[in-house]
Each structure stands twice: as C-alpha cells, then as structure tokens.
Amino acid sequence: RVTNKQFTWPYSFSLPVDKNGPWYTLNTVGVGATLNIDLWGADRARVAAAIGEKNARQAETAGIELDLASSVAQLYFAMQATFQKIELLNQLEAIASLSVQAHEHRTARGVEDSVDVANAQDELLAAQQQVITAQGTITQYRETLRALIGADAHSMPEIHPVALPALQETLPDSLSFELLALLGYVSASMSQVDAAKAAFYPHFDIKAFWGYNALSVGDLFKSSFQQINILPGLYLPLFDGGRLNATLKSTRTASNILIKQYNQAVLDAVRDVAISSSQLNDLNQQAALQQQKVTAAMVTTRSASAHHQRGLVSYYAAQEARRPAIAQQLLLLDIQAQRLSTDITLIKALGGDYRGPALSENAPLR
C-alpha cells in the first residue's frame, strides 16, 4: 500500500484509489551483505574463545581415553602378575602334596605320629586355598576388564600369561591432558572477558543490497529497475550499561575461577608426580633388595638339588628346600606388580605416552 503522504504519492492516484491509498505488488530479487567492522576486536575475541573451548573439549576427550587406557593397563598387568602368582602357588601346592605323602608313609611305618600328617595337610589346604583365591581374582579382573572395554561374553579376547614388561627408563615430557583442558578453558575465558569489554564501545557496520525492484514481474530484470542500497550503521550502547557491567563481572568471575582451578590442578599434578616418583623409587630399591634374597634362596635350592642328584639327600628334602625360594619369589612378584602399577600411575599423571618394550616382528600379540 502506497501512502499519499510520502514522495511516492503520485502512485496513490493511479489505479483505483481510496482515501488510504491503493495497493501494489512489489517484486524484489537481489543479493544482500553485511560487513561488521570489528574495530575493538570483539568478534576476534569470540572466535578465540570458541577455539579455546573446542581445544579444551578435545583435550578432555583425550583425558578420558587416557583414564580408560590406564585402567585397562592396570587390570591387564594385574592379571599377568596373578597368572605368575598362580604358577608359583601351584609349585607350593605340589610340594605340600609331596609332604603329605611323605608324612603319611612315615606314619604308616611308625616313624612319625599323625600330628605331622595333620600339619602337612594343613599346609596343603592353605596352598590350595591360595590358588583358588588367586583364580577367583583372575575371574574378577577379567569381568571388570570386559565391562571396561564394553565386550560381551563372546567378543572378549582370551588373555594368555605373558612376562611383565620392563619399566620405562625415562619419563615422558608431555603435559597432562587435564592441564591442557583447563588451559584451553582459561584461554577461552580470557577471550570472553575481552569480548565483554569490547561490548562497551560503539559498533559499526555496513549493509548493502543490489538487485531488481519492479511493480510488474515482466519488468523485474530490466536494467532500468536495478536497485543499489548502502546503509552504514552506528550502534551506541547508551542504555545497556547495567547489562554490560553485569556481563563483564560474571565473565571475569568465571575466568578467575578457572584460573584458580588451573593453578590447583598444576599443584595437584606436581604432587601426584612427586608422590608416584617417590613410591617408584622406593619400590625399585625394595625390588633390588628382594632380588638379592631370591638369589640367596636359589643358592640353597640348587645346592639341595645337587645333593639329591648325588644321593646325599632325599627327593622330599630337595623339594622342601624350594619353599623359601618360592616364598621370596612371591614377595618379589608383589613388588614388581606394585612397581608396574605405580609406573602406570606416574605415566598417567604426566599425560600418557606409555610404551612398553617393543615386540619382535614374529612375536604373537596376546
């Protein structure tokens, strides 16, 4: 509808006219564009904040993957240590069974009384109980690992006993993924503060339109009906002071909270690394001392075996001499399992990058 109060008033007297002016159909087609003049860097700050949040989420995802990988590694190597423990316990069970047979023969010949047989049976039952407990632990580890990797009863891979890997000689130099995530959020929050500050300044933009404008569709694409508009704009935040101040205050508060969380995360990471490093160093020393005990016990075992081969002692005595060595090996295995678990914890605290010893080309994957 064309009003008769503007510069288009001649059109109000063409075609049927009423006191409100006639109606026309205006056909318009064209291309419009807007250019925001980012003088104060508000848009750049928003882009930087978005990129920082994206990087932080990627780091969080990597951190979750690291937690999952470390948990899987802990369970897997705990299973391997338990496999070795069962093997040593089976040896103790075999020795205890031989001891029961030996005492039963002596009791039958009247050399010993039934008390010695009962004591030997008690040792055998204790060894069998330890084996059953260790086998139950294997089952618990396997089911926990199955749930952790999301495998069902049919897709769960079979886990075979393998040797425990050697510890890394050097520590990785990568940052913790948690720290990277927090750093990304801190960077994003500081960019958001810059954007909130820039909102106080005037905003400039330019809108433009180029196209065709005609009352008749047949005339729409004629050159004489071309239209070009250029509209510069100036926006002043005259009445938004309260809102802008509140936004800036809340943005600064959120940024300060993230900075404090990041500082605390750095302190926690340093503490975790220090504790894990100290524990690993203590376990290394304990392992070295325990290895010496195992070596000393093996000397006794080999001596008893040599005496048996020469007919100086009985087979039963040679097998009984193995008990101290197996007991020391069990203690060494516990320390080695603790060392490996602590090493994984330390690697996790440093951001991952755990690598075991390289497999040979022909080595099977288990």
Q: Quick one: pLDDT at residue 19?
A: 47
Q: Which of 289, 284, 78, 282 is nearest to 164 (CA)?
A: 78
Close Cβ partners of 339 (under 8 Å, ≥ 6 residues apart): 167, 280, 283, 284, 287
Q: How far is CA 190 from CA 37, 39, 243, 248, 254, in A?
A: 22, 19, 19, 11, 9
Closest by Cα among 3, 118, 66, 19 to 346: 66
pLDDT of residue 361: 37
Tens of pLDDT along the chain (366 residues)? Answer: 666 666 666 666 655 444 445 677 788 999 999 999 888 888 899 999 999 899 888 888 888 888 898 899 999 999 999 999 999 999 999 999 998 888 888 888 877 778 888 988 999 999 999 999 999 999 999 999 998 888 887 778 888 898 888 775 555 555 555 667 778 888 889 999 999 999 899 989 999 999 998 877 888 888 888 999 999 999 998 888 899 999 999 999 999 998 998 888 888 878 888 888 888 888 888 999 999 999 999 998 999 889 888 888 888 888 888 999 999 999 999 999 999 998 888 888 777 654 444 333 333 333
Query: How high is the pLDDT of residue 10?
Result: 62
pLDDT number for residue 362: 37
Q: Check residue 332 and give its pLDDT.
A: 94
Q: Which amino acid is it at 150?
A: G
Could you please report the per-residue DSSP string of 88-125?
HHHHHHHHHHHHHHHHHHHHHTTSS-HHHHHHHHHHHH
Q: Specify the pLDDT at position 170.
A: 54
Q: What pLDDT sits at residue 269?
A: 79
Question: Can you spell out the DSSP letters for 118-167?
Answer: HHHHHHHHHHHHHHHHHHHHHHHHHHHHHHHHT--TTTSPP----PPPPP
The CA angle 292-294-298, to the nearest 5 degrees, is 115
Quick one: pLDDT at residue 177?
Answer: 57
pLDDT at residue 8, as a whole number: 64
Q: What is the pLDDT of residue 312?
A: 86
Q: Are 103 and 117 in contact (CB under 8 A)?
A: yes
Phi and psi at residue 34, in whole multiples of 5°? -130, 135
